Structure 1
Amino acid sequence: MGDMTRRTVGVEEEFLLVNEQGVPSPAAPVVIRQVPETAQGELHQEQVEIASRPATDLDTITADLLERRRRLARAAGRAGVRVAALAVSPLPARPTSSPAERHQRILAGYGQTARQNLICGCHVHVGITSPAEGIAALNGIQPWLPALLAISANSPFWDGADTGYASYRRQLYDRWPTTGPTAPFRDPAEYHAVVGRLVDSGILLDPAMVSFDARLSIRYPTVEIRVADVSRHPHEAVVIAALGRALVDEAVADGSWPQARPELLRAAAWQASRHGLSGDLLDPLTGRRVPAGQHLEQLVDRVRPALARHGDLDRVQTALHDLLTHGTGAQRQRAAHARRGLLTDVVDSAVLHEPARA
């Protein structure tokens, strides 16, 4: 993964394809055929995914994501649809399943959970030098993952209504059998044994279906952090990446990071999903509710050495201040809706318009 004095990081983003009325459209096969080097498909044909190349410099990742978004938006336009950075569809949708054999097995095995799984996340890959380092990271970063969810919250509207949640994507995602936090693992052998038992039980089709909030990547030497909603702006995704990298750095450097019970971790994720940054967050280490701004200060303080080492401290502090001042994606979606009361305005506010080259 390169020079591990500065860990590499990569970002995967999932998007909806929508028609002019804002309704999800099954155009993924047509769009992907135009830009196969940029986009790939998902469980449903109303979605596509892009992934940055791993890099150590956040400006490089931002430029990469902007260029991939530009190519994707252009290809979608040629296919008569638009790309929307929405973590769920504000308007009612009837997803069209991918014909891929594995996807059909998932649909057959998980029923309505799979049929309604039209959700778009942002996954961050942080480079590690060994599986043992990965386990140290997984164990240490758990208490801070709900804060990353709150920062990214971008899905208040679903199926034609305001759900009352900042990240309703999280509520839909939690229907799957292995989503959420994990208890600590002793070592990589225990981690792989747990995954193996889940697959052997038939609950999971294969190891790729493990959906922990953070996991060892199936394909890369990385820790994969999977809690975030997709963001309207790649700069917000990159801030999640910066914080994720800093968390991994500090957790690996200090193997004694405190751990929280899974029950409190689940409650903290629910609270983050419910309110984003517009209310209190639950500190799973203490079990106490804390104002969102205060909890983010605690997060930055916890990883300040790593942020400074990577040159990311000013970027992260500025971005968090902006989110607390001007609102998360969820708050901006609600503001777009409040102007005229139209969910189509919410979709329009999230459409990518071939962003300029960085």
Structure 2
Amino acid sequence: MPKADRLLGVLPEERFAGELQRSVVETNSRPFVKIADLVEDLAALRRAVVAEAEEFGLGIVAAGTVPIVELDALEVTPDPRYENMLEEYQSLAREQLICGLQVHVEVPDRDQAVRVAQKVSAWTPTLLALSASSPFWLGADSGYASGRTLLWSRWPTTGPPPAVSSAAEYDQLIADLIQTGVITDPGMIYYDLRPSAHLPTLELRVPDACPRIEDVALIAGLFRALVVEALDSPEPLDVRPEIIRAQTWRAARAGLEGELVDPATGRPQPADRVVRSLFERLRPTLEGTGDAELLEVLLDEALHRGSSAARQRAAFAAGGLEDVVDLLVAETRMHTEGQPGARRTHVMAMLEGYDSAADEAIVFDRSARRPYGLVLTALERLGPQGLAEREEQRDHVQRALGMTFHTADDEDRLFPFDLVPRIVAGEDWNALQSGLVQRARALEAFLHDAYGDREIVRDGVIDPELITSSPGLRAEGSLVAPGLIRCTVTGTDLVRNGAGQWFVLEDNLRVPSGLGYAMANRWLAARVMPELVRAVSTPAPRRAIAVLRGALTRESGDVALVTTGPSDSAYYEHRLLAAELGIPLVNPDDLRIDRNGRLHAGDHSIDVLYRRIEEDELWKAVPGLRAAVESGHVVLANAPGNGLGDDKALYHHVPDFIGYYLDEEPILNNVPTYLCRDPEQLEVVLDRLGELVVKPVDGFGGHGVVVGPDATAAELAQVRAELLEDPSQWIAQETVDLSTHPTFAGGRLEPRAVDLRAFVCLGAEPEVVPLALTRVAPAGSRIVNSSRGGGSKDTWLLP
């Protein structure tokens, strides 16, 4: 039915679009790292379009073709480009009631996209066979599992990608084709694989649209693995385009029920054997992307179930074309049943207008992403009034606990805490733990080297000036004996983008804070939202204390925590940690060095000083402390001079540290960073100042950070002047589209940017503390620091 315009009038244009025929609606998912996240997004999109279509008495079918077509009723979408296509291509345009599945996979650049297309092209017929869903056309069986492929191949620029070796050569070919007048613009390039014209991706276009989202997921995962493998492989599978075209015809004819041509041998084989051989070829890559287990299940199900074309033919044999339509409608809406909808009236009302574009918990139609169903159920039961009452209870408990944050205005304020917990899935947390330990080990090795022989400089890995000019370099850093741990506790700030990719934003090696607040958040949540905390299995706070205690007592002896006292912004945390560790909480004035060079607080001897103040304050307050550290009579945790590792310019080189000291590939990615001390990189930063985040190399707590997209003209002018005055004191980073999380504010749930501070203790063995701090930015901000108005959430680290 040519009524897509009615649907598009009520659907968000950024996720739904029209096509040539007014009987077609295109859905556009967000980009994702995880296949499961992609499935959730596609399901939410289908729920939305199915629900709106039903309001107009329409059904939705995701398939290559539909069984019943009245060509006279078809209408081209009113659009100058489409009208021109109708005039130019006549029956091709009039009969274009076909739907494809298009998958984009990120590649580094267009040259790579063109080369990868050559390497993977031979396997695209196999992906077509998995998708085959178009046996019927104009009310009859076409004899092909993918009749759409035959209809599609009539266009002049379809089929295997051209044999070119560079983006420039590809673009010249497109320009030559346009010059012939056969096509009018680059959008009419319909090759089975093509570099996207507007995204940094390689696009797969050969499959039919699939009624079952599981098949979409399978094809997307296999195609990504093919691209990843091709990026790492030196040579393509040498198959001529003419052979690939023939293989595509065979796949369109047979689907999964006949024979396919095996690209490796060029000979026909049963389809299931060819598909499984592709999976086994890709298994190492799929294990690397984390998709192997899921895709193997989906592949087994797809082969057991057979192609959509076969299922449609079985339905036709049972009841004719109407049964085929019923089957397609049912499979398309399979993931739309049993969703919260009207039953969650409170949650739906609190999420009205919610922007889920980068959200970790909420999908497009305001339902829960996995594993947030439990959380939304609890919020639904409480409703806005119940949540407001829980907030009052939260404030009362915070006051009783003394859970405050000392501000620059010399006030003690309740530490902002949101009631909606954040969940870090087990698959994410496991990968993060490995990357955090790797990073901590590399930074530990670098600091010992930087305050020692500086072999990394001698071997030409980094410029010596990066060390010698760093504001974090301290002469006292050389007092630490080589065998001692420098980074007893590291605090690493991680951010996640909307696609689910994690990045390290910065490392904190001087006096990393937040662990105590993470503990307090769990206690607070247990008091205020007990029904949620009791329902999940997450590590208890006491386990975090055990890890911290083990690291602090590694060198044996008595431990004390030193603080500047109530004037410190994190004094509450200092008191809490000292109490939980069972160690004295002391001020610098309480400390003295005896005649034997040993440190005391009153009558207590101290062997390890867990410092939560800047080292310069300690040197001033405790005469003789330098000598005690140098002699080994007292250990400072963390070690003096660790600020060198906090340096934002050296952050850029942590991946180099991992390679140099550990001989490993980095597990966690840095945010792409520019060193402004480099004239060429400075020029890039100045040209893109409004797009980047600019930071002082010795900054902390969000001070001095300028977020280009959010900055005023005056702020950009000011930071430009400071960059020009002393570029060595600045870095710039690409702006990460931070993931958001629902935060209860003013009776509503609002998406707020979040990050994650995770902790590693270097004790007898490096160990990630099983407790992390989620920090929440204020409304309209990307800066999460408490000193800039940020708050926090309880964080569930799932096993």
Partner of 2:9: 33
Shift of 1:356: 4.3
Shift of 1:93: 2.1
Partner of 1:348: 326
For residues 41 and 259 of structure 1, the distance between their equivalents in structure 2, rounded to whole angstroms, comes to 38
Q: Provide, for residues 29-70 of structure 1, a one-character-per-residue CA deviation record: whole Å limited to 9, x for no partner.
A: 000101134321000111100011001011111000000000
Partner of 1:309: 288
Residue 194 of structure 2 is aligned to residue 176 of structure 1? no
Residue 14 of structure 2 is aligned to residue 49 of structure 1? no
For residues 113 and 131 of structure 1, the distance between their equivalents in structure 2, rounded to whole angstroms, comes to 30
For residues 51 and 97 of structure 1, the distance between their equivalents in structure 2, rounded to whole angstroms, comes to 21
Q: Which runs of 5+ in 2 are unaligned?
A: 340-368, 370-799
Pick one of 67, 70, 76 that aligns with 1:90: 67
Moved more, 236-245 or 345-354: 345-354
Shift of 1:182: 2.5
Residue 174 of structure 2 is aligned to residue 195 of structure 1? yes
Partner of 1:318: 297
Amino acid at match of 2:64: A
Q: Provide, for residues 167-204 of structure 1, a one-character-per-residue CA deviation record: whole Å limited to 9, x for no partner.
A: 00001000000111034321111111111111111111
Partner of 1:7: none
SS of the residue 2:215 aligns to:
helix
Tell me the TM-score normalised to structure 2 length. Answer: 0.41
Amino acid at match of 2:87: A
Partner of 2:140: 161
Shift of 1:205: 1.1
For residues 326 and 301 of structure 1, the distance between their equivalents in structure 2, rounded to whole angstroms, comes to 20
Residue 102 of structure 2 is aligned to residue 126 of structure 1? no
Aligned residue-pair number: 333
Shift of 1:284: 4.0
Higher relative contact order (CA 8 A, sep 6+): 1
For residues 185 and 356 of structure 1, the distance between their equivalents in structure 2, rounded to whole angstroms, comes to 49
Q: Provide, for residues 76-105 of structure 1, a one-character-per-residue CA deviation record: whole Å limited to 9, x for no partner.
A: 111221111221121132221111110001
Counterparts of residues 1-358 of structure 1 (less than 5 Å): 25-37=1-13, 38-94=15-71, 95-340=74-319, 342-351=320-329, 352-353=332-333, 354-357=336-339
For residues 99 and 291 of structure 1, the distance between their equivalents in structure 2, rounded to whole angstroms, comes to 45
For residues 274 and 247 of structure 1, the distance between their equivalents in structure 2, rounded to whole angstroms, comes to 23
1:133/1:77 CA distance change after superposition, 3 Å? same
For residues 269 and 234 of structure 2, the distance between their equivalents in structure 1, rounded to whole angstroms, comes to 25
Does the 8 Å CA contact 2:215/2:302 hold for their aligned counterparts? no
Partner of 2:474: none
Shift of 1:301: 2.3
For residues 326 and 129 of structure 2, the distance between their equivalents in structure 1, rounded to whole angstroms, comes to 23
Q: Provide, for residues 90-144 of structure 1, a one-character-per-residue CA deviation record: whole Å limited to 9, x for no partner.
A: 1132221111110001111111111111101110000011112212211100010
For residues 27 and 183 of structure 1, the distance between their equivalents in structure 2, rounded to whole angstroms, comes to 37
SS of the residue 2:134 aligns to:
coil
Does the 8 Å CA contact 2:120/2:237 hold for their aligned counterparts? no
SS of the residue 1:126 aligns to:
strand
For residues 114 and 185 of structure 2, the distance between their equivalents in structure 1, rounded to whole angstroms, comes to 20
Partner of 2:408: none
Does the 8 Å CA contact 1:39/1:50 hold for their aligned counterparts? yes
Does the 8 Å CA contact 1:183/1:261 hold for their aligned counterparts? no
Does the 8 Å CA contact 1:66/1:355 hold for their aligned counterparts? no
For residues 183 and 106 of structure 1, the distance between their equivalents in structure 2, rounded to whole angstroms, comes to 23
For residues 48 and 197 of structure 1, the distance between their equivalents in structure 2, rounded to whole angstroms, comes to 32
SS of the residue 2:286 aligns to:
helix
For residues 47 and 152 of structure 1, the distance between their equivalents in structure 2, rounded to whole angstroms, comes to 18
Does the 8 Å CA contact 2:250/2:260 hold for their aligned counterparts? yes
Stretches of 4+ moved more than 3 A in 1? 352-358
Shift of 1:286: 3.2
Does the 8 Å CA contact 2:100/2:207 hold for their aligned counterparts? yes
Moved more, 123-132 or 300-309: 300-309
Does the 8 Å CA contact 1:143/1:265 hold for their aligned counterparts? yes
For residues 293 and 256 of structure 1, the distance between their equivalents in structure 2, rounded to whole angstroms, comes to 26
Q: State the percentage of identical aligned residues.
A: 38
SS of the residue 1:82 aligns to:
coil
Does the 8 Å CA contact 2:67/2:324 hold for their aligned counterparts? yes
Tell me the TM-score normalised to structure 1 length. Answer: 0.90
SS of the residue 1:350 aligns to:
helix
